[in-house]
């Protein structure tokens, strides 16, 4: 298909597509949505303009491999009739990785240069990159540095990418989290227990916020708030006194200590943690506490486990209650893609093709008031946080209604 790119006519024949970062529902829907439009357009294009969509395996890692030696580990041909049903499935049929082409080590190893050299070896005329702000940011840099046609699609179950009111992957993770919470509730009610349920959410607490409210949690703890465990203890005691059970939902990015917290809260939480880790009963919490923090290639700290601290502190500072800690973990990323993520993914894939036709490159689709608009890949960033003046923020703790 002949289009204009930076004032020149180019012929898009072979389009590469990859999925980077953590998997989530909607990846496959974007692929199918784009492939539908390509297949439709090919029906009326001359033979020398017909297009093909080629999957690149394991995200950016595909372009760090040698096409002359590892082609089977790099490329997957995509045919619509073969993959058309995959849009209903979570995960990614192209596999993924957290490869950062622009990490210090990879820049020194000339990974960006090698990636573009491999793009040429594969004969790609255009690249479509599906991922969060890290993955899309790399696409923007690479496209600018090498004047190459790039597109993106914003995914993340955290729903924290600027430029769009919703990322695909979010709605499905909320649905699965709510199902998990409701399952825990029945056993909490049966045994008069408090369940502390940890859900994913690195810096933005949208998943915990929506799932906590929809799942009827008594208390929902977010990364955006100043966490005060003395207040949480009182809230849980109130819920159990009224109902003989309680549900606490905590985002994995919530924290007991932060430089923005009042000194008195940090000091109080330190006392609480020391009380917990000094008790042999909480040997597993102590072991976690002493582990060095790991980071991925983008510098993101490996999270998980705040729910264990919250559970132990509650148990240590209350009497007569039974507590259980549950971590939803990766289960809420997988399984089926729920309706909103199927539709949103298909819409994003459809929109990317429209951008191609219009010669609008270096963009990703963003949702605004139910319209899909092009957003600049060079301006993509994370950190779309839950504002404290948001209606749902004030609704998040059901126990305050009693």
Say whether pLDDT at 297 is over 80.
no
What DSSP string describes 255-302?
Answer: -S--TTS-HHHHHHHHHHHHHHHTSGGGHHHHHHHHSPPPB-TT-PBP
Would you state the structure tokens that stand for residue 384, as one six-digit string?
Answer: 């779309």
Q: Which of 318, 216, 207 is nearest to 254 (CA)?
A: 207
Q: How confident is the model at residue 87 (pLDDT cuts 50, 70, 90)?
A: very high
Enumerate the β-bridge partners of residue 326: 197
Q: What totals of helices (H) and strands (E) does the chain contain, helices first?
A: 14, 13
Q: In sequence order, which residues have a C-beta less than 8 Å from that of residue 117 and are 6 or more positions away?
A: none
Domain 2-168+337-379 top-level CATH class: alpha beta
Q: Which residue has the tokens 């033979």?
A: 47
Strand-strand pairing, 363-368 and 371-376: antiparallel
Handedness of CA 389, 159, 182, 198 (dihedral sign): negative
Q: What is the mean pLDDT of residues 337-346?
A: 98
* pLDDT tens column, 361-392: 999 999 999 999 999 999 998 889 999 999 99
Domain ranges for the chain: 2-168+337-379, 173-332
The two domains 2-168+337-379 and 173-332 share their CATH topology (first three levels equal): yes
Average pLDDT, whole number, for the chain?
94
Q: How confident is the model at residue 17 (pLDDT cuts 50, 70, 90)?
A: very high
Are the beta carbons of 6 and 117 closer than 8 angstroms? no
Strand-strand pairing, 2-5 and 8-11: antiparallel
Q: How far apart are CA 15 and CA 127, in angstroms?
A: 6
Q: Between 118 and 305, whose confidence is greater?
A: 118
Q: In sequence order, which residues have a C-beta less than 8 Å from that of residue 272 and are 6 or more positions away?
A: 229, 256, 313, 316, 317
pLDDT of the residue at 319:
87
Q: How far apart are CA 77 and CA 89, in angstroms?
A: 19
Does the annotation mark 258 as catalytic?
no
Q: Which of 127, 178, 174, 173 is nearest to 153 (CA)?
A: 127
| Neighbouring C-beta atoms of residue 276, cutoff 10 Å | 21
* pLDDT tens column, 233-264: 999 999 999 999 999 999 999 999 999 999 99
Q: Which of 275, 299, 273 is nearest to 288 (CA)?
A: 273
Enumerate the β-bridge partners of residue 374: 365
- Among 23, 133, 134, 158, the one annotated catalytic: 158
Give the CATH number of domain 173-332.
Answer: 3.40.50.460
Percent of the chain exceeding pLDDT 90 equals 89
């Amino acid at each position: 298909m002949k289009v204009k790119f930076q004032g020149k006519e180019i012929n898009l024949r072979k389009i590469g597509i990859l999925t980077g970062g953590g998997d989530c529902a909607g990846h496959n829907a974007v692929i199918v949505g784009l492939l539908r439009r390509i297949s439709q357009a090919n029906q009326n294009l001359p033979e020398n303009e017909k297009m093909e969509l080629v999957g690149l395996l394991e995200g950016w890692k595909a372009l760090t491999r040698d096409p002359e030696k590892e082609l089977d580990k790099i490329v997957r041909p995509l045919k619509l009739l073969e993959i058309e049903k995959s849009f209903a499935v979570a995960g990614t049929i192209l596999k993924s990785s957290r490869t950062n082409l622009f990490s210090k080590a990879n820049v020194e190893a000339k990974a960006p240069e090698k990636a573009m050299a491999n793009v040429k070896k594969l004969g790609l005329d255009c690249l479509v990159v599906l991922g969060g702000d890290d993955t899309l940011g790399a696409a923007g840099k690479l496209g600018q540095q090498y004047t190459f046609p790039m597109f993106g699609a914003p995914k993340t179950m955290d729903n924290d990418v600027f430029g769009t009111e919703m990322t695909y992957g979010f709605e499905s993770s909320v649905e699965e989290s709510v199902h998990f919470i409701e399952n825990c509730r029945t056993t909490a009610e049966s045994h008069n227990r408090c369940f502390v349920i940890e859900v994913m959410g690195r810096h933005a607490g949208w998943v915990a916020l929506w799932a906590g409210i929809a799942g009827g949690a008594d208390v929902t703890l977010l990364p955006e708030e100043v966490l005060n465990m003395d207040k949480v203890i009182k809230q849980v005691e109130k819920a159990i006194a009224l109902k003989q059970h309680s549900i606490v939902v905590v985002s994995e990015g919530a924290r007991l200590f932060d430089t923005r917290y009042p000194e008195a809260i940090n000091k109080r939480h330190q006392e609480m943690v020391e009380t917990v880790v000094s008790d042999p009963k909480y040997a597993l919490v102590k072991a976690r506490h002493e582990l060095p923090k790991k980071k991925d290639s983008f510098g993101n700290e490996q999270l998980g486990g705040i729910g264990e601290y919250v559970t132990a502190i509650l148990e240590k500072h209350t009497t007569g209650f039974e507590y259980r800690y549950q971590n939803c973990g990766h289960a809420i990323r997988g399984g089926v893609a729920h309706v909103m993520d199927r539709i949103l993914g298909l819409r994003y894939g459809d929109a990317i093709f429209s951008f191609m036709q219009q010669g609008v490159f270096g963009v990703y689709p963003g949702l605004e008031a139910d319209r899909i608009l092009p957003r600049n890949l060079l301006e993509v960033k994370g950190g779309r946080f839950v504002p404290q003046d948001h209606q749902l923020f004030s609704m998040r703790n059901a126990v305050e209604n009693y």
